[in-house]
A and B are shown apart, each in its own frame.
Chain A
Amino acid sequence: MKKGLFIALVTFLVLGFNNVYAMSKNDLEEKLIKSYTINGTTFQASDSDITKIKRYIKQNDISESDADYISKKVDEAIDIIEESGVKSLNELTKKDREKLVSICNDVSEHTAIKVTASKKTITIYNMDGTIFDEFDSEVVKKTGTTNILLMTSVVSLIGVAFITRKKF
């Protein structure tokens, strides 16, 4: 789970991008599925997660402003992890986790992509209000690198927030 969640976050990195232009859906998709290296470790979304990412972006009209906003917030999240020097989310300090939670809240407040989390279930919604995907939060904790939901940066961050907030 730890490495999988780390992969989830890493997947949405937009490293080296200056964001001088608004990001399109296609740009966002490309960035979400490519591989990245953080603190010496290379990560990439699994096959199934790439499938979900592509399907979500294809089906939902993510605005350029939302895509751009998400991209910037992911950069902030990755900066936090890079500065911490950790290779696993479980190694993050409580303070760093709280920072990630704040980022999740911020993205959820400012974009149209909605995720809810209960004690047992994490639910991702399409923009028409229907459910896009749903999974057991325990699965996120236990599953391996090939079986993590890597939806959007919002999802992964909120997923992290959900997991990490329980340890506060």
Chain B
Amino acid sequence: MKTLEAIVKRFAIAFFFFSLTTTLVYLGCNKKISLYIRTFNNFTYVPQEKEKKPVAINLETKEITHYPYYGEKFGIIKIPAIDIQVNLYHGDSLEILKKGAGHYSGSYFPSEGGTILIAAHNRSEYFKYLPKLKLDDEIIIDTTYGVFTYKIIDGKVMKIKELEKIRFTQEKETLVLYTCYPMNALGFTNERYVVYASLTEVSYEN
């Protein structure tokens, strides 16, 4: 009986201190706790994917009416001069670049008449041999909505900071491909090999 009484007494004291602590925390940090909980709830949004629409283009206006979603493969880059074909994805995250070439989401798409920026690793099956390209060599981007042919107009080594200054305008459709430089470098480098190409031919698929 005395043992039971002692146990109950201890529980009561523990409960008292627990309640006191909780009350003090609540009074002192209530708003912050609410803020964090709300922030956590909002940042754990799980999207309910509806049926994905295919990439679509209006053949009369040549305007893309539905864009690829981030991470979606929407074409193949073919460079006959160096005998490569690389899958092209929208987005350029590290995960995407493991699979092929990545289209920078802040640049335009083929057909929009603007600057198109695409990156890929300097692997032999991707962009390792870009420096071997010469003026007028062709780059073909075969997308789900059309085939776009470009010709090389320039190729050079650039610092990363220079590359970040590229302007994304709609003055003229220009394709920019880049990869890490030097080509035998492992890991992160401060230089990129960049190729510029101008649009020469378009064929829209039905």
Q: Interface on A for B, CB 8 Å cutoff?
A: 46-49, 51-52, 55, 59, 98, 101-102, 104-105, 108-109, 114-118, 125-126, 128-136, 143-144, 146-147, 149, 158, 161-162, 165, 168
Question: What mask results when residues 87 to 106 of chain B are scored 1 for a CB within 8 Å of chain A, else 0?
Answer: 00001010000000000111
In the assembled complex, 13 residue pairs joining A and B whose CB atoms fall closer than 8 Å, in A order, are A47-B169, A48-B106, A51-B114, A59-B66, A105-B42, A108-B42, A116-B44, A125-B45, A129-B47, A129-B48, A131-B91, A147-B106, A158-B42
Excluding A98-B35, A108-B45, A134-B93, 12 further A-B contacts by CB distance (< 8 Å) are A48-B168, A51-B168, A101-B35, A105-B39, A116-B42, A128-B49, A128-B52, A128-B53, A129-B47, A131-B91, A133-B91, A134-B71
Q: How far is the CB of A150 from chain B (nearest CB, A)?
A: 10
- Assess the B164–A134 pair: CB atoms within 8 A: no
Assess whether B67 is in contact with A55, with CB atoms less than 8 Å apart.
yes
Interface of A: prevailing SS: mixed
Closest to B49 in A: A129
| A52-B49 CB under 8 A given contacts A131-B71, A133-B70 | no
Q: Is the interface of B mostly helix, strand, loop or mixed?
A: loop
Interface status of B188 (Cβ within 8 A of chain A)? no
Q: Mark B105-133, 1 if CB is under 8 A from A, else 0.
A: 11110000010000000000000000000
- Given A55-B67, A129-B48, A133-B70, decide whether A47 and B167 contact each other with a Cβ distance below 8 A: yes
User: Which residue of chain A lies nearest to B105 when distances are taken between CB atoms in the complex?
Assistant: A133
**Separation of A109 and B42 alpha carbons in the complex (Å):** 7
Closest to A127 in B: B50
B2 interface residue per 8 A CB criterion: no
Name B9-66 residues within 8 Å CB distance of A: 32, 35-36, 38-39, 42-45, 47-53, 66
Complex: chain A residue closest to B46, CB-CB: A116
Which residues of chain B (135-170) have a CB below 8 Å from chain A?
Answer: 164-165, 167-169
A130 in complex: contacting residue of B69, B108, B169, CB < 8 Å: B69
Which residue from chain A places its CB closest to the CB of B71 in the assembled complex? A131
Name the B residues within 8 Å of A144 (CB-CB).
Answer: 164
